[in-house]
A = this chain, B = another copy of it.
Amino acid sequence: MNRVYNFSAGPSMLPVPVLERAAAEMLCYGESGMSVMEMSHRSKDYEPIIEAAEAQLRQLMNIPDNYKVLFLQGGASTQFAAVPMNLIGRTGKADYVVSGQFSGKAFKEAQKLGYDVKCIATTKDDNFDHIPTVTPDMIRPDAAYVHICFNNTIYGTKYSYIPDTGDIPLVADMSSCIISEPVDVSKFGVIYAGAQKNMAPAGMTLVIVREDLLEYAEEKMPTMLEWKTMAENGSMYNTPPCYTIYVAKLVYDWILSLGGLDVMKEMNVKKATLLYDYLDSQDYYIAPVKKDSRSMMNVTFVTGDADLDKKFASDAAAAGLKNLKGHRSVGGMRASIYNAMPYEGVQALVAFMKKFAAENPKA
């Protein structure tokens, strides 16, 4: 077995101790006599697993008691519809910040569903190379919520601040930065995140929602998208993605064993700094994102030559550094360096970048 460094934007690397434990427990979990995959979600074997997952996440993120934690299926893309269906009833309209592809998709989904939504800020004209400055005066006073995507996986940008939306609930898609560093949950009305970047394999979406926001759901909406129904049933209105929740719990175990999100942030800053410092020290590679908007999780760069970019991703894969090709919609390169990417992986990447630059002079 020869494991590679996997820079995939998601699904992405998981901590080796998590994979080892999942493998060891595959045929028999504890005294249960069965795999976690085989457990009834309503059994005495499984219930402690989902309860521990929630308790550990609450501890990790310091989630206040007046927030519900939901483990759902469907992906963050499902929440693009669920967010307006659950919240717009508060006032009848909602505001969106479009800072990249997924925040754009969230906005379009709300439009498609026929809602009164407004894009209050975007950096589209700058090819999303930075995060817009959102100030209270931009927000419609009667907006039901303001929606943002906190970290843009594709462009490699992240909010360096939490927008002040006053009394209007702030809703954030945190799919690609969840549990990468501490965040003040109380500043948000809703936080949601697909699991497959920093938490677990694909197939689970975390929703953290302030209790008072559970009262505004549409009547004629799919029951499975109703946060209140899911909250009242402890994420077990139907069968939850039990095994994915179990792997998420193993990931939470791993982070807690390392010291929690403060330590995780320290490790992530160290990795990102190594890569950005190298990018800033040379001129072979260009990092398109403005410095105040740089993501710690997704680092984008280009050579300025599409053929060289292609060769880079291909040569890197051959050297055991996989999935460095940028998103198909933007090209170039992207190194996703989530929690589970070891520092050594980023060191290996920087060493490869230096070697590639030396061996492939530009025309």
**CB of A198 closer than 8 Å to a CB of B:** no
**CB of A91 closer than 8 Å to a CB of B:** no
**CB of A114 closer than 8 Å to a CB of B:** yes
Q: Are A3 and B237 in contact (CB under 8 A)?
A: no
- 9-residue interface stretch from A19-27, A121-129, A259-267, A272-280: A19-27
Q: Are A38 and B73 in contact (CB under 8 A)?
A: no
Which residues of chain B come closer than 8 Å to A81, judged between CB atoms?
A: 222-225
Report A348 CB to chain B, min CB distance, Å. 13
Q: Are B240 and A202 in contact (CB under 8 A)?
A: yes
In chain A, positions 88-124 with a C-beta closer than 8 Å to chain B are 109, 112-114
CA distance A200 to B219 in the complex (A): 33
A residues contacting the other copy or chain, number (CB 8 A): 73
In chain A, positions 1-20 with a C-beta closer than 8 Å to chain B are 1-4, 6, 8-14, 16, 19-20
| Copies of this chain in its oligomeric complex | 2
Binding site secondary structure of chain A? loop
Q: Are A10 and B322 in contact (CB under 8 A)?
A: no
Report A35 CB to chain B, min CB distance, Å. 5
User: Knowing A23-B27, A27-B20, A73-B203 touch, does A4 contact B112 (C-beta < 8 A)?
Assistant: no
Which residues of chain B come closer than 8 Å to A26, judged between CB atoms?
A: 19-20, 22-23, 26
In chain A, positions 40-85 with a C-beta closer than 8 Å to chain B are 40-43, 73-78, 80-82, 85
User: Knowing A28-B3, A222-B222 touch, does A38 contact B23 (C-beta < 8 A)?
Assistant: no
Q: Are B43 and A323 in contact (CB under 8 A)?
A: yes
CA distance A291 to B113 in the complex (A): 48
- 9-residue interface stretch from A134-142, A241-249, A353-361: A241-249
- Closest B-chain residue to A109, C-beta based? B223
